[in-house]
């Protein structure tokens, strides 16, 4: 198949089409072509997508697909795809199915044997990660911290010793509370990048420590959309991270988080504890 053939819309296929996260010029020419040529669109909010389409001069029939109707609309959309129609799934901004409706539709299509393909583009998480200046080799996407304060705290406890860079989405009205939780659970010392209004006129990336960010936003009201990138766990950020772990947990930590073989994990834990490998091994037994 040539590249041009790949860009041709195929009947019976679901296209996941990324849309801009703020700057219309970020829409790819392939995305425009697919949006123009598919039989119908599935849109998170048809009013938002109508604005995008009218700026492109495209008129297209749309099926609303969001959290409240996905169980009902999923089978309907799959049926139309199985009958040979082509469909593009779009969300309000960015890559559909990333903290946006779509994940279920993709699964439904895969189960029904409907081909799914991607027209990639902007994604706020990846845009922020690359601007953060932090380790991009290993990272974890946490999305929105959900639920009550106790749930959000528990979620942070679970990742406290994760060495990977952590990416969060957050609404401006919750940012100050979230930073206070970061400070309480993750400590004040880690580096943090607050990536605001990415690709828009007022794009801004504030790079500081968690403690500085909590203090800054206690005085300055957060405005706009944010992705928050937080440095992963380092021994510097919290000395003797293993202090409250059993020997078994300490070894398991290295095996799971640093993907070490058991003997290497024992060696690393023994070094942390200032004991010999054989002593630590005996304690494990
Ligand atoms: N699917 C989208 C993506 O690919 O990035 C994310 C959708 S999620 C419902 C919306 C969240 O993404 C916002 O609350 C914010 O945290 C983040 N976001 C979206 N656009 C942004 C932007 N221009 N600047 C900063 N954060 C943004």
What's the CA-to-centroid distance between 81 and ligand 1, angstroms?
A: 29
Beta-carbon count within 10 A of 281 CB: 18
Beta carbon of 105 within 6 Å of any ligand 1 atom = no
4-30 pLDDT, tens digit each: 777 889 999 999 999 999 999 999 999
**Quick one: pLDDT at residue 236?**
61
Residue 113: partners with Cβ closer than 8 Å, 6 or more residues away = none
For residue 13, give both structure tokens: 């296929």
The interaxial angle of helices 46-56 and 29-37, nearest 10 deg, is 110
**223 alpha carbon – ligand 1 mean position (Å):** 14
Q: Is the pLDDT of residue 237 over 70?
A: no
- Res. 231: pLDDT tops 60: yes
Residues with Cβ within 8 Å of residue 32, at least 6 apart in sequence:
56, 58
Instruction: Specify the residue for token string 């952590």.
Output: 166
Tens digit of each residue's pLDDT (9 = 90 or more) over 73-117: 999 999 999 999 999 999 999 999 999 989 999 999 999 999 999
Report strand pairing: 226-230 vs 165-170: antiparallel
Banded pLDDT at 187 (limits 50, 70, 90): very high
**End-to-end distance of the chain based on CA atoms, in angstroms?**
59
Q: What is the pLDDT of residues 32-52, one digit of tens each?
A: 999 999 999 999 999 999 999
Neighbours of 2 (CB within 10 A): 7
The pLDDT score that the predictor gives to residue 284 is 85
Binding site membership of 123 for ligand 1 (Cβ less than 6 Å): yes
Q: How far is CA 139 from CA 162, 166, 255, 281, in A?
A: 9, 6, 17, 31
Q: Which residue's C-alpha comes closest to atom 2 of ligand 1? A: 94
**Ligand 1 center–CA 170 separation, angstroms:** 8
Compute the distance between CA of residue 43 and CA of residue 100 in angstroms, rounded to an integer. 11
Our answer on whether the CB atom of 98 is closer than 6 Å to any ligand 1 atom is yes
User: How far, in Å, CA of 183 to CA of 33, rounded?
Assistant: 46
User: Mean pLDDT, the chain, as a whole number?
Assistant: 94
Check residue 270 and give its pLDDT: 87
9 CA distance to ligand 1 middle (Å): 28
**Percent of the chain beyond pLDDT 70?**
98
How far, rounded to the nearest angstrom, does the alpha carbon of residue 74 sit from its chain's CA centroid?
Answer: 23
User: 91 in ligand 1 pocket by Cβ < 6 Å?
Assistant: yes
| Residue 239 pLDDT > 90 | no
Q: For 113-154, write each residue's pLDDT tens digit.
A: 999 999 999 999 999 999 999 999 999 999 999 999 999 999
CA 226 to CA 268: how far, in whole Å?
Answer: 37
Average pLDDT rounded to a whole number, residues 219-242: 85
Could you read off the pLDDT of 250-262 as tens digits, one per residue?
A: 999 999 988 899 9
């Amino acid at each position: 198949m040539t590249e041009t053939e790949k860009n041709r819309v195929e009947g019976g296929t679901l296209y996941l089409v990324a849309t801009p996260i703020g700057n219309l010029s970020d829409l790819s020419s392939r995305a425009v072509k697919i949006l123009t040529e598919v039989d119908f669109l599935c849109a998170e909010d048809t009013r938002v997508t109508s604005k995008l389409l009218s700026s492109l001069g495209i008129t297209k029939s749309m099926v609303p697909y969001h959290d409240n109707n996905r169980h009902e609309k999923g089978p309907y959309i799959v049926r139309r795809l199985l009958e040979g129609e082509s469909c593009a799934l779009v969300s309000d901004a960015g890559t559909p199915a990333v903290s946006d409706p779509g994940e279920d539709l993709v699964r439904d299509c895969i189960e029904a044997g409907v081909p799914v393909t991607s027209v990639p583009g902007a994604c706020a998480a990846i845009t922020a990660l690359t601007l953060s200046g932090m380790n991009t080799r290993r990272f974890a996407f946490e999305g929105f911290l959900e639920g009550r304060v106790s749930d959000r705290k528990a979620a942070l406890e679970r990742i406290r010793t994760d060495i990977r860079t952590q990416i969060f989405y957050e609404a401006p009205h919750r940012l100050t509370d979230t930073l206070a939780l970061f400070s309480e659970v993750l400590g004040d010392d880690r580096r943090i990048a607050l990536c605001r209004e990415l690709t828009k006129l007022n794009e801004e990336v504030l790079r500081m420590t968690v403690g500085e960010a909590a203090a800054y936003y206690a005085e300055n009201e957060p405005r706009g959309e944010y992705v928050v990138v937080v440095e992963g766990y380092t021994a510097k950020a919290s000395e003797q991270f293993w202090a409250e772990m059993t020997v078994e947990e300490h070894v398991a930590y290295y095996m799971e988080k640093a993907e070490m073989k058991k003997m290497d994990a024992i060696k690393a834990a023994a070094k942390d504890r200032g004991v010999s490998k054989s002593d630590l091994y005996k304690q494990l037994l």
